[in-house]
Structure 1
Amino acid sequence: MRTILILTGRDDLTADAVVEELGKRGENVVRYDTADFPSASRLAVSLTGDGWAGTLSASRKLDIQSVTSVWWRRPNEFVTPEEWPDHARAFAVSEARSGLLGVLGSLPVRWINHPANDAAANYKPRQLAMAARVGLDVPRTVITSDPDHARDFIGSERVIYKGLGGGILGPNGERRFLPVKLITADQIDDRVTGTAHLFQENVDKAFEVRLTVIGDHMFPVAIHAGSEAARLDWRNDYRSLTYRPIGLPQQVGRGVRRLMDELGLFFGALDFAVTPGGLWKFLEVNPNGQWHWIAVKAGIPMVEAMADALQGGTE
Structure 2
Amino acid sequence: MILILTGSQDATTLDVIKWLRHFDQEIMVLSNEDIIEEVQISNDETLLRFTDQRTLDFSKIKAYWYRRGDFTFRLKAAEDHPAIIHAHLKRELNSITQLIHNRLLELPNLSSSLNADSNRLDVMCIAENAGLKIPSFGVFNTRRQVQDFALKHGKIVTKPIGDGISLNEDEVAYMQYTDVFEQEDIDRLPDSFLPGLFVEYIEKKYELRIFYLRGTCYTMAILSQQDTQTSVDMRHYNFQRPNRALPYRLPEEIAVKIDQLMRQLSLKTGSIDIIVSPEDEFVFLEVNPVGQFGNVSSNCNYYLERNVALHLSKLSL
TM-score if structure 2 supplies the norm length? Answer: 0.86
Q: Which residue of 1 aligns with 2:227?
A: 227
RMSD: 2.8
Written as runs of structure 1 = structure 2, the 5 A alignment for 1:31-110 is: 31-38=29-36, 41-48=37-44, 52-59=45-52, 60-75=54-69, 78=72, 84=79, 87=83, 93-107=90-104, 108-110=106-108
| Deviation, structure 1 residue 203 | 1.0
Contact 2:109 2:315 in 1 (8 A): no
> Deviation digits for residues 168-193 of structure 1, max 9, x if unmatched?
46655988432211113442255473
| Pairs aligned (count) | 306
Asked if the contact 2:34/2:50 (under 8 Å) is kept, the reply is no
**3-state SS in 2 of match to 1:199:** strand
Q: Which moved more, 1:155-164 or 1:74-83?
A: 74-83
For residues 192 and 297 of structure 1, what CA distance do their matches in structure 2 show? 46
Give 1:163's aligned residue: 160
Compared CA separation, residues 221 and 133, structure 1 to 2 (3 A): same
- Residues 21/281 of structure 1: CA separation in 2 closer, same or farther (3 Å cut): same
| Residues in 2 aligned to 1:101 and 1:35: alpha-carbon distance in whole angstroms | 19
Contact 2:209 2:221 in 1 (8 A): yes
Deviation of the 1:236 alpha carbon? 0.8
Question: 1:34 deviation in Å?
Answer: 3.4
The one of 139, 146, 165 equivalent to 1:150 is 146
**Equivalent in 279, 282, 285 of residue 281 of structure 2:** 279
Contact 1:167 1:176 in 2 (8 A): no
Unaligned runs of 5+ in 2: none
| Contact 1:150–1:185 (CA under 8 A) maintained in structure 2 | no
**Match in the other structure for 1:118:** 116
Counterparts in 2 of 1:187 and 1:264: CA distance versus 1, 3 Å: same
What's the secondary structure of 1:45's corresponding residue? strand
Other structure's SS at 1:278 match: coil
Shift of 1:106: 1.7
Deviations 1:52-90 (A, max 9, x none): 343444542221111122211122573667994794665
Specify which of 126, 132, 137 is matched with residue 136 of structure 1. 132
- Does the 8 Å contact 1:78/1:96 carry over to 2? no
Q: TM-score, normalised on structure 1?
A: 0.87
Cross-structure match for 2:14: 16
> Does residue 252 of structure 1 match 2:254?
yes
Could you tell me how far apart the structure 1 residues matched to 2:42 and 2:11 are?
35
The residue type paired with residue 205 of structure 1 is K
- Aligned residue in 2 for 1:261: 263
Q: Structure 1: which 5+ runs fail to align? A: none
For 2:213 and 2:171, locate their aligned partners in 1 and report how far apart those are by CA, in whole Å: 30
Equivalent residue of 2:9, what SS?
Answer: coil
Cα distance 1:161–1:104, how it changes in 2: closer, same or farther (>3 A)?
A: closer
Secondary structure of the 1:245 match is strand
